[in-house]
C-alpha cells in the first residue's frame, strides 16, 4: 500500500534565488570524516544549538544576511527569521564556543571566504581568536557544532575539525 500524500502545508515551496543549506565538509587535504556531507539544523527554538544531521533541514533555508552573516527563514512559518550566531563566554578564555540559530539575530562576523581553488567556506572574520569549526558528539542526542578559538590547544577525541560550505538550492 502506498504511503499517503503529504498535506499541502507540509510541501515545501520552490526555493528562492540565493537560498542554500549549510553543509559540513572535511577540511581540504584531509580524508572525508564521519560528518562529511552532513547538514546544519537548529535543535529547537527553546535550545537553538546547531545540530549536525544526515539530511537537509526540513523548514529552514539559509541566505546571505543583509549586513553580512547568514540569515535563515522558515518556509513553514512565514515572517519568522533566524540567523547563525557565534556565542562566546564572557571571560573569553574557552577553547570552543557554542554556535546557535536563534530567532531575530544574525552574526555579521560570519562571511563566505573564497579560496585559491575557487571554493568558499564560511568563516569568522574580524574575530581575533577565531581558528575554525569543530563537530563534537555532545549531550543533545546529535553531533553539535562549535567554533574554536586560539585557546584550544588539543582537539578533544570526541570532536572533529570541519569546514562549512553552502549547497545552493536554486
| Per-residue pLDDT at 140 | 80
Bridge pairing between strands 70-74 and 60-64? antiparallel
According to DSSP, the β-strands at 20-25 and 159-168 are: antiparallel
Half-sphere exposure of 139 (CA within 13 A, CB side): 2
* pLDDT at residue 12, rounded to an integer: 84
Q: Which is nearest to 39 in space by CA: 17, 23, 27, 58?
A: 23
Residues 6+ apart with CB under 8 A from 133: 99, 145, 146, 147, 148, 161, 162, 163, 164
CATH number at residue 161: 2.80.10.50
Residue 74 lies in a domain: yes
Decide if 10 is inside a domain: no
Domain membership flag for residue 92: yes
Does residue 1 sit within a domain? Answer: no
**Apex CA 84: angle with CA 28 and CA 95, to 5°?**
65
Q: Which domain holds residue 155?
A: 18-168
Instruction: Give the pLDDT score at 55.
Output: 93
Number of domains in the chain: 1
Show pLDDT as tens, one digit a residue, over the chain (170 residues): 666 665 656 788 899 999 999 999 999 999 999 999 999 999 987 889 999 999 998 889 999 998 889 999 998 888 899 999 999 877 677 899 999 999 999 999 999 999 888 889 999 998 999 999 999 998 888 899 999 999 999 999 999 999 999 999 98
Amino acid at each position: 500500500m502506498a504511503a499517503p500524500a503529504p498535506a499541502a502545508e507540509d510541501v515545501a515551496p520552490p526555493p528562492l534565488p540565493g537560498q542554500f543549506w549549510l553543509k559540513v565538509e572535511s577540511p581540504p587535504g584531509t580524508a572525508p570524516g564521519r560528518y562529511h556531507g552532513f547538514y546544519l539544523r537548529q535543535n529547537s527554538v527553546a535550545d537553538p544549538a546547531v545540530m549536525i544531521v544526515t539530511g537537509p533541514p526540513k523548514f529552514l533555508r539559509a541566505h546571505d544576511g543583509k549586513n553580512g552573516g547568514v540569515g535563515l527563514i522558515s518556509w513553514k512559518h512565514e515572517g519568522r527569521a533566524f540567523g547563525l550566531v557565534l556565542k562566546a563566554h564572557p571571560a573569553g578564555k574557552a577553547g570552543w564556543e557554542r554556535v546557535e540559530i536563534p530567532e531575530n539575530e544574525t552574526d555579521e562576523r560570519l562571511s563566505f571566504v573564497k579560496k585559491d581553488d575557487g571554493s568558499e567556506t564560511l568563516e569568522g572574520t574580524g574575530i581575533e581568536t577565531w581558528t575554525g569549526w569543530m563537530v563534537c558528539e555532545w549531550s543533545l542526542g546529535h553531533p553539535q557544532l562549535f567554533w574554536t578559538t586560539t585557546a584550544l590547544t588539543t582537539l578533544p577525541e570526541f570532536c572533529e575539525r570541519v569546514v562549512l560550505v553552502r549547497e545552493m538550492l536554486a
